[in-house]
């Protein structure tokens, strides 16, 4: 695709400094952009590269434009406008509205208009798929599943029975929605763990995106619920009966135990662990590699764990950490006047 810089400016109502006839054939980062590509300045630390980038033009905020001798588009939210411009150059294959002859369609399946079904996909009985939705190659849509309009399952997605998917949902390859939650109870008489049937399903609201390899378990006593606009990264685990509020974003490799609630507009970093049966309120940010072991009732930014340091220093500090309880007892004795001088 080729677009003129002027066309991009007009399309997104951006002030333009420079020649509007310059042709743009793609987008790239500021270090690697070529002479026919558009780049973006998100981080002030990269201002020094404005004089050396080969890019045809730069999208940046007004304050930084005075330091740029190249054609530029002005936006106070360069990262946000990046999302809009990048869509123009997105090469993801578009659905064709056809059903591949190798796909298998069960009894009483209802397909909306222009539904695309890829090779070797399986749609089990009584499923309903809304208009303009796409089922990728090798995907399995279980019995009684409901999928809304304009939703897309990429290759090899599995939806177990009784899963509910809203409109404009994207589910990437390898995701598994509706597998059994991890529920067992030990029976002393039989000497074994007894499986607790997970009789509820998973309900995913509109505008949700679910990353590759992510798993969302079905519930035992209530549905697992993913709210409107939630974004889950790759390889996120959501336990049974958990509820995630609207527009919360969760980064990769985070593990969320069952029967807990996450509020709206939360930001959860990568590889976070969250235990079961707790609540996280709205507008909470949890930094990467944290362990959430109790409820969070006040909005804000939370962290746990130890910061990065050289290995030898970390070992010395761990020795001190093991002695912390004894040191605290000694401090208390000293404060109470019972310590030895």
Q: How far apart are CA 150 and CA 170, in angstroms?
A: 9
In the set 132, 172, 223, 240, the catalytic residue is 240
Q: Count other Cβ atoms within 10 Å, centred on residue 3.
A: 17
**What tokens does 330 get?**
């000694």
The answer to whether residue 161 is catalytic is: no
**Strands annotated E in 175-319:** 176-179, 184-187, 192-195, 202-204, 209-210, 215-217, 224-226, 231-232, 237-238, 243-244, 249-250, 255-256, 261-262, 267-268, 273-274, 279-280, 284-286, 291-292, 300-302
Q: Find out whether 41 and 60 touch, Cβ atoms under 8 Å.
A: yes
Q: What angle do CA 295, 301, 305 make, to 5 degrees?
A: 75
Handedness of CA 87, 91, 95, 96 (dihedral sign): positive
Helix (H) / strand (E) element for 164: namely: strand 164-165
Handedness of CA 93, 99, 102, 105 (dihedral sign): positive
3-class secondary-structure state, position 51? helix
Q: How far apart are CA 158 and CA 141, in angstroms?
A: 6
Q: Find out whether 254 and 271 touch, Cβ atoms under 8 Å.
A: yes
The set of catalytic residues is 240
């Amino acid at each position: 695709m080729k677009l003129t810089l002027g066309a991009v400016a007009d399309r997104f109502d951006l002030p333009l400094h420079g020649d509007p006839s310059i042709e743009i054939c793609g987008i790239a980062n500021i270090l690697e952009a070529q002479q026919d590509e558009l780049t973006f300045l998100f981080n002030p630390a990269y201002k020094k590269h404005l004089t050396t980038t080969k890019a045809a033009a730069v999208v940046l905020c007004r304050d930084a434009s005075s330091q740029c001798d190249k054609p530029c588009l002005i936006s106070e939210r360069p990262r946000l406008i990046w999302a809009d411009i990048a869509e123009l150059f997105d090469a993801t294959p578009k659905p064709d509205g056809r059903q591949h002859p190798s796909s298998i369609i069960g009894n009483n399946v209802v397909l909306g208009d222009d539904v695309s079904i890829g090779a070797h996909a399986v749609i089990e009985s009584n499923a309903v798929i809304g208009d303009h939705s796409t089922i990728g190659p090798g995907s399995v849509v279980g019995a009684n599943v409901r999928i809304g309009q304009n939703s897309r399952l990429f290759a090899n997605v599995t939806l177990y029975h009784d899963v509910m998917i809203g409109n404009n949902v994207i589910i990437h390859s390898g995701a598994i929605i509706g597998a059994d939650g991890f529920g067992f109870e030990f029976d002393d008489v039989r000497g074994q763990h007894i499986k607790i049937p997970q009789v509820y399903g998973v309900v995913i609201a509109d505008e949700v995106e679910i990353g590759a390899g992510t798993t969302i378990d079905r519930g035992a006593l209530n549905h697992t619920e993913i709210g409107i606009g939630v974004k889950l990264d790759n390889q996120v685990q959501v336990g049974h009966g958990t509820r995630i509020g609207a527009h919360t974003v969760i980064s990769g490799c985070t593990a969320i135990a069952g029967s807990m609630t996450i509020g709206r507009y939360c930001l959860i970093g990568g590889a976070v662990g969250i235990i079961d049966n707790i609540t996280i309120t709205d507008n909470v940010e949890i930094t990467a590699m944290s362990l959430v072991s109790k409820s969070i009732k006040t909005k804000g930014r939370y962290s746990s764990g130890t910061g990065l340091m050289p290995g030898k220093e970390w070992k010395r500090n761990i020795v001190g950490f093991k002695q912390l309880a004894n040191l605290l007892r000694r401090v208390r004795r000293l404060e109470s006047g019972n310590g030895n001088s």
